[in-house]
Amino acid sequence: MNYNKKTVRDVDVKGRKVLLRCDFNVPMAKDGSGVITDDKRIRAALPTIQYLLDQGAAVIACSHMGKPEPDFEKWVKKQTEKGKDPASLTREKWEKSLEALRMEPVAKRLSELLGREVILAGGTDVVGPDAQAKAAALQPGGIMLLQNTRYAKGETKNDPELAKAMAALAGPDGLYVSDAFGAVHRAHASTAGVAAFLPAVSGFLIQKELDFIGGALANPKRPLVAILGGSKVSSKIGVINNLLEIADTIIIGGGMAYTFASAQGGSVGDSLLEEDWKSYSLEMVQKARDKGVRLLLPVDTVIADKFAPDADSKVVPNGQIPDGWQGLDIGPETVKLYCDAVKDAGTVIWNGPMGVFEFEKFAAGTKAVAEALSKTEAITIIGGGDSAAAVQQLGYAGQMTHISTGGGASLEFMEGKELPGVACLLDK
């Protein structure tokens, strides 16, 4: 995939209407009060919005929020599958479920942050008459927000008719700007389809992701060290495979390390173990050897007598975990080994915590690695939702070069997969 994409700076936006895809999928209070509990994603979109407005563009912003089901029959089916009593699944309930995901709270917060009016499209017809009229009347320097893009039945199916109607809102001289990195791995009408009908460029958020992650994958400052952890081997196969082709050193930690240990003949007690992936992990060890990639596995581990924050714990050599115990973190010798391995790195890509960092008692490994990264001269890139959360929670966020804003998207990026929402943008 070509990561060198045109950005808002490469096109003339003055006087044009810009359909801007944002990621305003913000967490909302569970009580239905419409309170946004974290507005980080809205704030992250401000530089691109401000730039477009300052340059004299008119901005038609849009985003999805949550997972509304716009088809009543399908909603009933999904709820029934979840175990709900079909008799209780009324139209009113369905309408309420849609209502809870309206964009009103986002428009309000965005307006506060920008210090100007944000016109909001009404109803639930994303590209309907109200949106059309408001888009047509929008003046340069003005901003409006469409309703939840997933209210439209064709959104997740990438329906070309819907994409065409979205594009039409921006008029004949319109432009599409994508800044929703968290959604670029999905080929939806508003994230990819629309680019067939409008010239398409990236906003600053996506540009930064492409520069850092794309740069590290395509042309890394070496040595490139990849730290891979998290819970399961099976969810990280793509990442391991791709990074084995690129990295100089690969470090394995987290729950997936126990599948490697078991495959190599060790005992792992009650640790996370994926029997079906044992042979794959041996293949990876062999592949690393063949390619001359240094692959590091834990030498010791912190074990617990139960999966709980207050579990009893002790350190044992890796592969020597007694029955009734489970590995929840890398041990102190492993910490030394791993911290040493990143010291002289040119680039470090990190995906997946080294242990169950959510429990303070088992956060030491993840914390030590974060600390080591904060001290290197290396370009440090954090991908993955939980990894980003870990670095934030442990207080090292400010010291990393780049923390990806997209969980699933950054994983697919590191897997070397084509991202539909990036591939559709104009090349430089």
Tokens of 123: 């109803």
Chain position carrying tokens 């009734």 = 324
Residue 126 CA to residue 262 CA, distance in Å, equals 52
**Is residue 272 involved in binding ligand ADP (CB under 6 A)?**
yes
Among 347, 387, 404, 405, binds ligand ADP (CB under 6 A): 387
Distance (Å, rounded) from C-alpha 208 to C-alpha 212? 6
**Per CB under 5 A, does 386 bind Mg ion?**
yes
* 358 is an interface residue for ligand ADP by CB under 6 A: yes
Contacts with ligand ADP, 66-105, as mask; x by CB under 6 A = ----------------------------------------
- 150 classed as catalytic: no
Cβ–Cβ < 8 Å for 119, 143: yes
From the list Mg ion, ligand ADP, none, pick the one residue 346 interacts with, judged by a Cβ distance below 5 to 8 Å according to partner type: none
Residue 31 makes CB contacts below 8 A (sequence gap 6+) with: none
Is 385 part of the annotated catalytic residue set? yes
Residue among 346, 385, 407, 416 flagged as catalytic: 385
> Are the beta carbons of 104 and 120 closer than 8 angstroms?
yes
Strand order in the sheet with 200-202: 119-120, 143-145, 58-62, 17-21, 175-178, 200-202
Least distance from ligand ADP to the Cβ atom of residue 350, Å:
9
Q: Does 415 participate in binding ligand ADP (rule CB under 6 A)?
A: no
209 binds Mg ion (CB under 5 A): no
Establish if 385 lies at the interface with Mg ion (CB under 5 A): yes
Per DSSP bridges, beta strands 143-145 and 119-120 are: parallel
> Is 232 noted as a catalytic residue in this protein?
yes
Count Cβ atoms within 10 A of the Cβ of residue 337 and give its class: 0-12 exposed, 13-18 middle, 19 or more buried: middle
Question: 126-145: which residues touch ligand ADP (CB under 6 A)?
Answer: none
Q: Does 404 bind ligand ADP (CB under 6 A)?
A: no
Partner whose binding site includes residue 235, from ligand ADP, Mg ion, none (CB under 5 to 8 Å by kind): ligand ADP
220 binds, among Mg ion, ligand ADP, none (CB under 5 to 8 A by kind): none
What residues are labeled active site?
A: 41, 232, 385, 408
